[in-house]
Amino acid sequence: MPATQGTLVLADISGYTAYMAGTEHEHSIEILKELMETIARSFDERLRIDQLEGDALCATTERTDAEVATWLHDTFGRFHERLRDIRELSTCPCRACASAGDLGLKFIVHRGEFSRQQIGQQVQLYGTDVNLVHRLAKNTVPLREYLFATAATLVPQPVLRKAQRPTRFGVLYFGSTSPAMQEALDVLTEQGVDLDAMRLRAFPFPESVDKFIAGHDKVFVVEQNRDAQMHAMLVNELSIDPARLVKVLHYDGTPITARFITRAIEQHLQPAQSNTLQKEAA
């Protein structure tokens, strides 16, 4: 199956191994079933449960925004409401029912890529990011309950502005270049120059930045920096061919302007457009 970009969630009931070892098997299994079903119901229509792993559920969603964390807070609340009901409503004196409150819930959350493989009647998740989530579950965090989110999950996503027509050219920008860039895009559009634009908002770069660059022949990188630090970060972190990125650098001590950006991009595109016309004429 093709790879999917999204969020991977591992919901793991903590303290279960010790709980199982010290309590009656029949009741502990029933309590685990109730708690797992509570988690699964809270995921309904939000997260797709792909794998059941003993006392853990591995789920996925194509959503990558902060709402996913809100869902997990809701799951956490429902989990503890069910635990409270088990403690308060049960009249069973066994250790399994009496010590159910020792159980907790922890989440491992990572934004990345995953694929699904059909094995008989079962679907198995696979991929480097899937393996990473399971390795992170073996951490040394000295807490019974937590939400462990990787940096890739927490960083804000870039903002994409698509051109009105399909184009082979794109532009990346960030920070204080944004107002001038928006004006420059409007001017370029009026002049018939179409650019897909992406405003970077955080590092490490999410997968969408790599895909944006891969989807264009040339991408301008606009920055107010003499040393082209953002250009270097893109090349080094994403293993991008430097020839695909065009530097637009402004560093004379004054704020960057839409006129400066427009001229820099036009000057680069004019030779490219002339070469295209010559090829078409030939």
- Report the chain's C-alpha Rg in angstroms: 26
Which tokens sit at 165? 């027509």
Domain ranges, ordered by start, for the chain: 4-154, 159-281
Q: Domain 4-154's class?
A: alpha beta
Identify the burial level of 24 via C-beta atoms within 10 angstroms of its C-beta, where 0-12 means exposed, 13-18 middle and 19 or more buried. middle
Residue 20's pLDDT is 86
17-21, 118-122, 156-160: lowest mean pLDDT where?
Answer: 118-122
The structure tokens listed for 16 are 């279960």
Percentages helix, strand, coil for the chain, rounded to the nearest 5?
45, 25, 30
Share of the chain above pLDDT 70, in %: 95
> In three state form, how does the secondary structure of 38-68 look?
HHHHHHCCCCEEEEECCCEEEEEECCCCCHH
Where b means 16+ CB within 10 Å and e means fewer, 194-227 reads bbbbbbbeeeebbbebeebbeebebbbbbbbeee
> What is the mean predicted confidence (pLDDT) over 31-51?
94
Show the tokens assigned to 106: 């922890």
Q: Which of 196, 225, 224, 226 is nearest to 211 (CA)?
A: 196
Close Cβ partners of 83 (under 8 Å, ≥ 6 residues apart): 35, 100, 101, 103
pLDDT in tens, 85-137: 988 888 888 888 888 889 999 999 998 889 998 888 788 899 999 999 999 99
pLDDT higher than 70, residue 217: yes
The predicted structure's pLDDT at residue 273 = 54
Q: Is the pLDDT of residue 188 over 70?
A: yes
- CATH 3.40.140.10 assigned to 159-281: no
Q: How far is CA 210 from CA 44, 51, 194, 204, 271, in A?
A: 32, 29, 20, 11, 26
Residues 6+ apart with CB under 8 A from 179: none
pLDDT at 210 over 50: yes
Q: How confident is the model at residue 75 (pLDDT cuts 50, 70, 90)?
A: very high
Q: Indicate the pTM of the whole model.
A: 0.67
Average pLDDT over residues 135-153: 91
| Residue 279 pLDDT level (bands cut at 50, 70, 90) | very low
Q: Is the pLDDT of residue 1 over 80?
A: no
Output 67 or 74, whichever has higher pLDDT.
Answer: 74
**Are the folds of 4-154 and 159-281 the same?**
no
